[in-house]
Amino acid sequence: MSDRLLAENLIRDIPDFPKPGIIFKDITPALQNPNALAEIVDKMAEYALTRNADVIVGIESRGFVLGSPVAVKLGKGFVPVRKLGKLPHETIQCEYALEYGTSAVEMHRDAIVPGQRVVIVDDLLATGGTAAASARLVEELGGLVAGLVFLIELTFLHGSQKLSAYHVKTFIKY
C-alpha cells in the first residue's frame, strides 16, 4: 500500500497563474473527486486528533473548504480566519509581509477561548506568512497552536521555516 494520496494524482499545474512565472497548484480536481476529498479530510482529521484539537481554524478560502469538514468529522467547532474587512463582529488582526508590501488577516475577538488547543488548516503552505499570522491571532486570544496542517507544501519557498516554532504536517511536497 502506497503512502501517496489519491489527491496527489489529481492536482494540476496551471502555468502563469496568477501572474507570469508562477505555476499554480490547482486542487479543485481533487475536491471534485469524492474519494480524494474524503481522503484529504480523513488525513487532516487524523492529524488534528493526534494534536488533541479543541477547535479547528481554517484560513480563507480553501482552508474553509477543508477545515469545515474536518471540524464536523471530529465534532469540533470551526473558526474562520479571513482577509481584512470580511468578518462582521469585533475582530483582532495581524499584518504580515508580502513580497512587495503587506497584507492582514483577522479573526473574531471571541472566536478562541483561552487555553483551547487549536489546529490550523489550509490547502497550501508557501511562504508561511498567512499561517504565521493566523497562529499569532490564536495566541493573542490565549489559544495554544497545537499544530498546522496543509495538503501541499511548496518546499522551495521555505514556509515551514517561518513556522518552526509549531508542529506542522503536510501531505504532498513539491
Within-domain flag for 42: no
Grid cell listed for 53 = 484539537
Domain that holds residue 110: 52-173
Q: Does position 2 have pLDDT exceeding 60, yes or no?
A: no
Whose grid coordinates read 471530529?
A: 74
Q: Does position 157 have pLDDT exceeding 60, yes or no?
A: yes
Give the torsion sign (CA, 58, 62, 66, 72).
Answer: positive
Please state the φ and ψ torsions of residue 133, each to the nearest 5 degrees: -65, -40
The pLDDT value recorded for residue 4 is 86
Within-domain flag for 135: yes
Per DSSP, the three-state class of 119 is: strand
Which pTM does this prediction carry?
Answer: 0.96
Q: Does position 128 have pLDDT exceeding 50, yes or no?
A: yes
CA 119, distance to chain mean position in Å, is 9
Q: pLDDT tens digits, residue range 69-104?
A: 999 999 999 999 999 999 999 999 999 987 677 999
Q: Does position 170 have pLDDT exceeding 90, yes or no?
A: yes
Which pairing describes strands 77-83 and 102-108: parallel, antiparallel, or unpaired?
A: antiparallel
By the 8 A CB rule, do 147 and 170 touch?
Answer: no
Q: Which residues contact 164 (CB under 8 A, 6 or more apart)?
A: none
What confidence tier does 53 reach under pLDDT thresholds 50, 70, 90? very high
Averaged confidence pLDDT in the chain: 96
By the 8 A CB rule, do 36 and 43 touch?
Answer: no
Within-domain flag for 62: yes
Q: Which residues pair with 59 in a beta bridge?
A: 81
Within-domain flag for 115: yes
Counted domains in the chain: 1
Within-domain flag for 17: no
Active site residues: 62, 99
Q: Say which CATH number the domain at 164 has.
A: 3.40.50.2020
